[in-house]
Amino acid sequence: MAKGESKTGNCRFCGQSSIIEGGADMTAPQLEEAATMQCTCEKAMAYQETANRRTVAKQRAEELFGKDAGEYAQPDDTLAYILAGIDQVCDKKAKQIIITIKTSLRARIMQMAKDKIKIVRETSNTDEFTQ
């Protein structure tokens, strides 16, 4: 098959078939995912909303703690912990996760009303001397 050819995939919730443009090189699970993301059944729409919420939350985390975050930029492994925390909250395995990165920097990931995900970069500028 040529790269531009389309294939058919089925929604994982209702089984409705969808034509996936450019899906010639996709595996069966990829076709199913693409079809589900195009479907308009109620369960697929809820799934799409959840998937989009997760994607946007991860983009926001990249903005707050990624390479372009200036003085708050974190190494890739630290950012991976933050992104894993987002997955935990999105999958409803945790209501809130707080990651203390440095003494004065924390990442707080929490589930709000209507399943919205909130990501906060907390800084505290306290000067303390202990002898």
Average pLDDT of the chain?
91
Average pLDDT over residues 44-71: 94
Q: Identify the residue whose tokens are 């389309």.
A: 6
Q: What is the pLDDT of residue 103?
A: 81
Q: What is the pLDDT of residue 1?
A: 44
For residue range 85-120, list pLDDT tens digits in order.
Answer: 999 999 999 999 999 998 889 999 999 998 899 999
Average pLDDT over residues 45-65: 95
